[in-house]
Every structure is written in structure tokens, then in C-alpha cells.
Homo-oligomer: A and B are copies of this chain.
Amino acid sequence: MSMDLLIEKIREKNNPSVAGLDPKLEYIPEFIKQASVERYGRTFAAAADAILTFNKELIDAICDIVPAVKPQCAYYEMYSWEGVRALHETIAYAHEKGMYVITDGKRNDIGSTMEAYAAGHLGKTDLFGDPASAFASDALTVNAYLGTDGIAPLTSLIQNNGKAIFALVKTSNPSSGELQDRHLEDGTAVYAAMGDMCERWGADSVGKFGYSGVGAVVGATYPEQLAELRLRLPHTFFLVPGYGAQGGGAQGLVGAFDQNGIGAIVNSSRAVMCAYKKENCDEKEYAQAARREVIRMRDDINGAVQNNR
């Protein structure tokens, strides 16, 4: 139960970061795309093949450095069901390599429908009477605008199967404040009220590090709220997007961590996938460039967190 599995993997690697796998074709080196197109034509099957090749080599190059990957569903769905097959295979491959997988789907719905998402992404599906794994990820991002009903179907997977969720609290995008920063009648900001709900939903799944299986997404682009929420939500682990390409730096992140240096995992997607473009190295070196970037990122974050303790 709880966030223990992820926190253990973070401690093993001494690395509180996660590599986002958002493989738009434009991020993928030409030589990979050419090989896939030669094999399958200019089809979604070729796109899926290129994505999977790209992801697997990235995973090979970073799996001893980074504890987790976070595939973003949108970048697979845009390549139709063939892309979703590549998502399935990416999750399986990351597991083979011992990585923790956070499926970034921001799923949300009424209770009966959330049961289907829970079964599909984290649990088991009833397949003609037998339980079967569909995507079998370790954690799923969710949007909790619908309240407790949309979270309850995930609770037993969290409490009994070591699964975790991350609910959107204060997102990293520029317009996140339009609703999230507004204040309720009692003076609480909407994001803080959402955070309080995460604490409540996680109350029965607090693990040995003090964190529950119900985490929160809080953007690196809002360092003040990050620090405020760390204090307000002592049992809620944070998934922190917005470092790197979205503009948040390591210094702004330190508030996400507790006095033991835990409490958050920081995501970077584009900066890792496209490190070869930034380095301007041979595109065939993309996986090694990604490795250099995740090492740089680990040291950058650890340095900032250490300095702050």
C-alpha cells in the first residue's frame, strides 16, 4: 500500500526524478522513423513502431539512473490504437527493466466508469470470468473534479495492491489559476481544497515513509504553492511537472521536499527526449544524450535539495 514502492525506488537510485515519455514523432530521430516507414509505410503502425523503438532505447539508457518513467497517454492516442499498443508495450518494457511506471492519463469519471479505468490502467479486468492485466501500470494521474466517487474505485488497488494515484491539485500551466487559484467562501484556494481532499482520500494508506498512496500533481512553475502545499499536506506525495522545458528550475523545487529530502518526484519529458537536439549531437546518440540529461537533472535537483536542508 501507499507510495512506498515508488519512494524505495527513488532511494535506491538516489534520484527523485521521473522521465516523461511523450514521444511525438517530431521528437524521434530521423533514422528511427525511416526504418519504421520502410517496414510499414507512412502508417500509424510505422509511428507506433518508431515510438516503441525510441522508448526502448531510452529506457535502456536511463534505467540504472532514473527510478520511473511517465508515459503521457495523449502522445500515444494521437497515433490511434496502434499508438496505444505502443503505450502498452512501453509499460511492459519499463517493468522488465525494473522501472516504476506512472501512466499520465488524468483520467476522471463517475464511480462505475472509474472502476473501468482503475481495472484497465492499474488493476485487472474481468476477461470472460478471469482476471487479466490490460495496461498494468503502477500509478495513474487522475483529475478529481468529480469528488470522492471518482477516487473510491481506486482505493482498494492503493490499499491492497501497492498502486498509487496522483490527483491534479495545482497544475503547471499558465492558466491553471483561473479556477485553481480562486478562493472559496472560507478563504481556501480551490487548489488547497483539492489538496485537502487528497489528504483525506489517502488517510488509510499512509506508508512507512509517512506518505499515502494518493499523491498530488503540483507544478514546478509555482514554487510558492509548492512549498505551501508541502506544509499543508504532510502525507501527500507530489508529482512535480514543469521542471526544464516548462521553465521551472531546481531552486523552485526545493519546497516540494520534506526535511528528510523526500516527498516529491520531479518530471522532465522534452528535455530528456530531445536532449540530442539541445546538445546538437549526432541523432544516433539520442539515448546517450538522454542519459547525460537525466544525470544532470538528478544532480541538479539533489544539489538544490541538499543545499536547502
Please list the residues of chain A having a beta carbon within 8 angstroms of any beta carbon in chain B: 22, 24-26, 33, 37, 42-44, 46-47, 72, 74-75, 77-81, 83-85, 87-88, 106-111, 113-114, 116-117, 119-121, 125-130, 132, 134-135, 143-150, 168, 171-180, 182-185, 187, 190, 193-194, 197, 241, 246
Contacts and interface: CB of A to CB of B under 8 A. Distances in A.
A191 to B, nearest CB: 10
B33 A128 contact: yes
Given A106-B109, A134-B83, A78 B44 contact: no
The listed residue with most B CB atoms (<10 A of its CB), out of A46, A74, A117, A197, is A74
Contact of A146 (B79, B109, B176): B176
A52 to B, nearest CB: 12
7 contacts: A37-B128, A42-B130, A75-B116, A80-B125, A178-B197, A185-B187, A190-B190
Copies in the complex: 2
Contacts of A193: 179, 182
A119 B78 contact: yes
Contacts of A146: 168, 171, 173, 175-176, 180
B116 A24 contact: yes
A104 to B, nearest CB: 8
A126 B178 CA distance: 31
Contacts of A177: 147
Contacts of A145: 143, 145, 168, 171, 179-180
Contact of A185 (B130, B184, B241): B184
Contacts of A135: 77, 80
A269 to B, nearest CB: 9
Q: Which 5 residue pairs are nearest across A and B when measured between Cβ atoms?
A: A147-B175, A147-B178, A78-B120, A74-B116, A81-B85
A107 B88 CA distance: 19
A132 B193 CA distance: 41
B184 A182 contact: yes
A126 B234 CA distance: 43
Contacts of A106: 107-109, 143
A176 B190 contact: no
